[in-house]
């Protein structure tokens, strides 16, 4: 073979040619912006480990939701810090908790914005675990009943999608049944299907005040060493009726995203988690990296791996950057 017959550089010669042959792209429509709602009025407090991400009272959550919608981002995911905590996390299904109040207010102010409700108990329990305890263990089946109450209360408050992040066995089937029984057949379930026990959640636990008071979450979240087990979780959630499949965190688990994408025909979401965000922000603040370039490259790599939806704290910045480029 002659040396000069295969020249991939022909397809990289100019920006126009590169545009023609580009295989993947990032759009504002791929993004979901997570928000943290707290009690009170006119609260907007920056979360120290998540620069430019805030604890918002309901009034400010509505303002942020409007901004998100006007930027063209299709959805927000709502997390909350409750006014009270107890052993079973009952504030999670209290219709007057900040999350439920924020959902109602956002749905009224920006009805076209898709509201995703995070369903878990760790932000609402005194012990910080994701379910009801029996001794020092999380009781799976007792927890399912509580999660069903949370899902229904969020659906009543205006959530379009319920996103269970607890990793209890059998939860998708139980939540589906509970939503249907309550008349919410059209509320979809975005399952945190494959959620690893990850060190990358550190800043989120400050943000959501949800660090476990003892032990850790390895008894229910997945071992980062495993991928076959991820496919088992996937099969279960598909069988139980999950409408969207999520992999969390994103960047360390893009191989898993690819495996999921190749196996299924339902939408795949990734959660670009707090630790991934905080590392980029810290390096950027030190002038060590080009923040915009690193963020766009990271999110594009999630698309390339097969993600349809990216939940990210960078969403507002990315929406603005993409607008500048067009």
Say whether residue 120 binds Zn ion (CB under 5 A): yes
> Do 78 and 116 touch, CB atoms closer than 8 A?
yes
Q: In the stretch 164-203, what mask flags binding to Zn ion with x, by CB under 5 A? A: ----------------------------------------
Stretch that binds Zn ion, among 6-14, 80-88, 117-125, 201-209 (CB under 5 A): 117-125
Structure tokens, 105:
């207010």
CB of 130 to Zn ion, least distance (A): 3
Residues assigned a catalytic role? 195, 248
134 is in an annotated binding site: no
Interface mask toward Zn ion for 130-159; x: CB under 5 A: x-----------------------------
Question: What is the 3-state secondary structure of 208-254?
Answer: HCCCCCCCCCCCCCECCCCCHHHHHHHHHHHHHCCCEEEEECCHHHH
Structure tokens, 48: 């120290």
| Contact characters 257-296, Zn ion, x per CB under 5 A | ----------------------------------------
Burial tier of 205 (Cβ tally within 10 Å: 0-12, 13-18, 19+): middle
Q: Is 171 annotated as a binding residue?
A: no
Least spacing, CB of residue 109 vs Zn ion, in Å? 28
CA 203 – CA 160 distance, rounded (Å): 27
Count other C-beta atoms under 10 Å from residue 265's C-beta.
Answer: 6
Residue 130 marked in a binding site: yes
Does residue 120 have a known ligand-binding role?
yes
122 touches Zn ion (CB under 5 A): yes
Residue 99 Cβ, how far from Zn ion at the closest point, in Å?
14
Does residue 119 interact with Zn ion by CB under 5 A?
A: no
DSSP 66-129: HHHHHTT--EEEEEE--S--BSS-GGGG-TTSHHHHHHHHHHHH-TTSEEEEEE-STTTBTT--
Annotated binding site for 5-aminolevulinate: 205, 217, 274, 313
Give the binding site for Zn ion (CB under 5 A). Answer: 120, 122, 130
Annotated binding site: 120, 122, 130, 205, 217, 233, 274, 313
Annotated binding site for Zn(2+): 120, 122, 130
């Amino acid at each position: 073979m002659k040396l000069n017959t295969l020249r991939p550089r022909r397809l990289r010669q100019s920006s126009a040619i590169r545009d023609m042959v580009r295989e993947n792209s990032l759009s504002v429509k791929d993004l979901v912006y997570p928000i943290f709602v707290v009690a009170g009025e006119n609260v907007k407090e920056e979360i120290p480990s998540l620069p430019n991400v805030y604890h918002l009272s309901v009034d400010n959550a509505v303002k942020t939701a409007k901004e998100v919608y006007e930027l063209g981002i299709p959805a927000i995911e709502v997390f909350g810090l409750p006014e009270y905590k107890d052993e079973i996390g009952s504030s999670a299904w209290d219709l007057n908790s900040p999350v439920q109040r924020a959902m109602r207010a956002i749905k009224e102010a920006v009805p076209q914005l898709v509201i995703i409700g995070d369903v878990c108990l760790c932000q609402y329990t005194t012990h910080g675990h994701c379910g009801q305890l029996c001794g020092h263990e999380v009781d799976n089946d007792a927890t399912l009943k509580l999660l069903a109450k949370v899902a229904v209360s969020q659906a009543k408050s205006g959530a379009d999608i319920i996103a269970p992040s607890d990793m209890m066995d059998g939860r998708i089937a139980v939540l589906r049944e509970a939503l249907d029984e309550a008349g919410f057949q059209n509320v979809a379930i975005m399952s945190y299907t494959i959620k690893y026990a990850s060190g990358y959640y550190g800043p989120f636990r400050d943000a959501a005040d949800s660090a476990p008071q003892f032990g850790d979450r390895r008894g229910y979240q997945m071992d980062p060493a495993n991928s076959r087990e991820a496919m088992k979780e996937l099969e279960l959630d598909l069988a139980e009726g999950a409408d969207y499949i999520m992999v969390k965190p994103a960047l360390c688990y893009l191989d898993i995203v690819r495996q999921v994408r190749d196996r299924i025909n339902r939408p795949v979401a990734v959660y670009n988690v707090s630790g991934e965000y905080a590392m980029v922000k810290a390096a950027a603040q030190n002038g060590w990296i080009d923040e915009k370039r690193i963020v766009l490259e990271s999110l594009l790599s999630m698309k390339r791996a097969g993600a349809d939806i990216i939940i990210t704290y960078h969403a507002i910045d990315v929406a603005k950057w993409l607008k500048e480029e067009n």
